[in-house]
């Protein structure tokens, strides 16, 4: 390190380091005393050509360096004056320049958060989810619940108590929805902390409602056979096609009701879903038997399963499902989503859990494992029956 009087001409002429990443030059004033040196003030010359002013301060065993700005953004005189003020405050008042800078940035971040209305931030968060292929529709629905309550409040002013009151209100109607609401908000607030909009996450240690284990209902072989017979005899051709799509593809109800003719490649036996729960386009194979059923339908609108209007997707299948349950003799508490679970069970039996997970388009096989439990129960029952038969056979042989 060298001590030389710093001037614009000198700083611009200092050579780039060859064997090092950077070299420091300190302000030494001039020989005539016209410029008094700022002790601890210098310029760092980097091998990429950057020239940055800095101050070095603190006790010998704990020196700290703070950069003030680059040549061009600051003149030598401006940088020297800034250095003198910071060093004087450190020596007289004990104000550490780096600590002060950090505290100032924190204040600015919090102020930025206070200027950001919650509804504006929520819109940004929803757009982020869409761009990053997250389940932006689900996130939008959950965040909109918060916008209704906190929309005009500033992001940095939202407290844990505020969120707790709203969480309790939602929990009265649906504890599970309240939990999903908290999950979406908590992830969003963590992102806000990383962006410097808020100081801490108000939901960091928030406790959700206890959740019961998910449904494990899948149709037995006898129920499945009865359901297929009832579907074949169902009088409404569009509803019959919808039920067959659910049974033969494992698709979700919304995916079936919003399916358009343009989404299908019947020659290649493929169905492409433009929008899914995963937030991205997905393609699945379909069997030729389903293709035959679909091609038999009148194509008098864009949607495969048409409703009252051929140009709008059908709202639901509640009435048709109730008729199927009655005709097949299946318990009333069976839901349409149980068909997706049944599809999973039957595929897992014949092709394994990995293939079932792929056909259901799960991002993680662990999600599929929850649906796989009924398969294991059936397998255990079959094993017990085989064991019982072996015991009876052994008894007869020993007698």
More confident residue, 260 or 37: 260
Q: What is the mean pLDDT of residues 183-192?
A: 88
CB-CB contact of 315 with 216 (8 Å): no
The per-residue pLDDT for range 266-277, each reduced to its tens digit, is 999 999 988 776
What is the rounded distance in angstroms from the CA atom of residue 262 to the CA atom of residue 299? 11
| CA proximity to 146, closest of 192, 111, 183 | 183
- Asked if residue 112 has pLDDT above 80, the reply is no
pLDDT for res 297:
93
Please report which confidence band the pLDDT of residue 278 belongs to, taking 50, 70 and 90 as the band edges: low
pLDDT for res 313:
84
Domains of the chain: 2-95 (3.30.160.390), 114-194 (1.10.150), 221-381 (1.10.443.10)
| CA proximity to 261, closest of 306, 319, 212, 205 | 306
pLDDT for res 12:
92
Which of 129-143, 246-260, 304-318, 348-362 has the lowest average pLDDT? Answer: 129-143
Quickly count: other Cβ atoms within 10 Å of residue 160's Cβ.
15
Q: What is the mean pLDDT of residues 352-372?
A: 79
Name the phi and psi angles at 21, rounded to 5. Answer: -75, -30
Residues 6+ apart with CB under 8 A from 350: none
| CA proximity to 15, closest of 54, 51, 42 | 51
What dihedral angle (degrees, nearest 10) is formed by the CA atoms of 248, 357, 339, 232?
10
Strand 22-27 versus strand 2-4 pairing type: parallel
Q: How far apart are the first and last CA of the chain?
A: 102
The per-residue pLDDT for range 120-177, each reduced to its tens digit, is 888 888 888 777 766 767 788 888 888 888 888 888 888 899 999 999 998 998 888 8
Q: Tell whether the torsion through CA atoms of 283, 284, 288 and 289 is positive or negative.
A: negative
What is the rounded distance in angstroms from the CA atom of residue 5 to the CA atom of residue 243? 85
CA angle 373, 376, 381 (to 5 degrees): 130
Which of 52-66, 238-252, 378-392 has the lowest average pLDDT? Answer: 378-392
More confident residue, 116 or 74: 74
The per-residue pLDDT for range 32-51, each reduced to its tens digit, is 555 566 788 999 999 889 99
- Asked if residue 22 has pLDDT above 50, the reply is yes
E strands, the chain, are: 2-4, 22-27, 41-46, 51-57, 64-70, 264-265, 270-273, 282-285
What is the rounded distance in angstroms from the CA atom of residue 98 to the CA atom of residue 105? 11
- Asked if residue 20 has pLDDT above 90, the reply is no
What is the rounded distance in angstroms from the CA atom of residue 218 to the CA atom of residue 342? 5
**DSSP H helical ranges for 67-215:** 76-93, 97-115, 118-131, 136-150, 160-173, 175-194
What is the rounded distance in angstroms from the CA atom of residue 269 to the CA atom of residue 284? 9
More confident residue, 279 or 262: 262
Residues 6+ apart with CB under 8 A from 300: 306, 310
What is the rounded distance in angstroms from the CA atom of residue 380 to the CA atom of residue 145? 44
pLDDT for res 228:
94
Strand 51-57 versus strand 22-27 pairing type: unpaired
Q: Provide, rounded to the nearest whole percent, the portion of the chain with pLDDT above 70.
A: 88
The per-residue pLDDT for range 198-234, each reduced to its tens digit, is 888 999 889 988 876 556 778 888 999 999 999 999 9
Round the average pLDDT of the chain to a whole number and report it. Answer: 84
Which of 137-151, 177-191, 240-254 has the lowest average pLDDT? Answer: 137-151
Q: Which of 29-33, 78-82, 271-275 has the highest mean pLDDT?
A: 78-82
pLDDT for res 39:
83
pLDDT for res 34:
56
pLDDT for res 1:
45
The per-residue pLDDT for range 289-302, each reduced to its tens digit, is 999 999 999 998 89
């Amino acid at each position: 390190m060298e001590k030389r009087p710093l001037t614009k001409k000198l700083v611009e002429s200092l050579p780039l380091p060859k064997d090092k990443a950077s070299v420091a030059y300190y302000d030494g004033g001039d020989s005539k005393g016209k410029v008094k040196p700022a002790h601890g003030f210098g310029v760092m010359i980097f091998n990429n050509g950057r020239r940055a002013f800095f101050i070095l301060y603190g006790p010998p065993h704990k020196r700290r360096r703070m950069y003030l700005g680059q040549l061009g953004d600051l003149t030598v005189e401006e940088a020297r004056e800034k250095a003198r003020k910071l060093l004087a405050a450190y020596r007289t008042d004990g104000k550490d320049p780096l600590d002060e800078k950090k505290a100032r940035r924190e204040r600015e971040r919090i102020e930025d958060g206070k200027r950001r209305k919650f509804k504006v931030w929520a819109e940004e968060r929803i757009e982020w989810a869409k761009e990053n292929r997250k389940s932006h529709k689900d996130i939008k629905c959950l965040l909109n619940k918060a916008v209704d309550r906190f929309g005009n409040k500033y992001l940095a002013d939202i407290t844990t108590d505020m969120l707790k009151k709203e969480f309790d209100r939602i929990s009265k109607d649906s504890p599970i929805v309240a939990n999903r609401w908290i999950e979406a908000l908590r992830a969003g607030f963590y992102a806000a902390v990383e962006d410097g909009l808020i100081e801490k996450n108000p939901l960091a240690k928030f406790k959700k409602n206890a959740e019961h284990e998910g449904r494990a209902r899948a149709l037995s072989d006898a129920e499945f056979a009865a359901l297929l017979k009832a579907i074949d005899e169902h009088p409404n051709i569009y509803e019959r096609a919808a039920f067959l799509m659910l049974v033969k593809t494992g698709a979700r109800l919304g995916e079936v009701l919003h399916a358009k003719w343009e989404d299908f490649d019947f020659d290649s036996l493929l169905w492409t879903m433009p929008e899914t729960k995963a937030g991205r386009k997905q393609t699945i194979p379909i069997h030729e038997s389903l293709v035959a059923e679909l091609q038999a339908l009148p194509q008098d609108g864009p949607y495969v399963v048409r409703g009252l209007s051929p140009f709008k997707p059908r709202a639901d299948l509640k009435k048709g499902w109730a008729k199927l349950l009655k005709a097949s003799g299946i318990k009333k508490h069976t839901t349409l989503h149980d068909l997706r679970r049944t599809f999973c069970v039957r595929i897992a039996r014949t092709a394994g859990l990995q293939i079932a997970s792929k056909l259901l388009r799960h991002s993680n096989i662990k999600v599929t494992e929850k649906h796989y439990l009924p398969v294991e129960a059936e397998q255990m029952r079959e094993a017990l029956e085989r064991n019982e038969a072996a015991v009876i056979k052994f008894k007869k042989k020993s007698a």
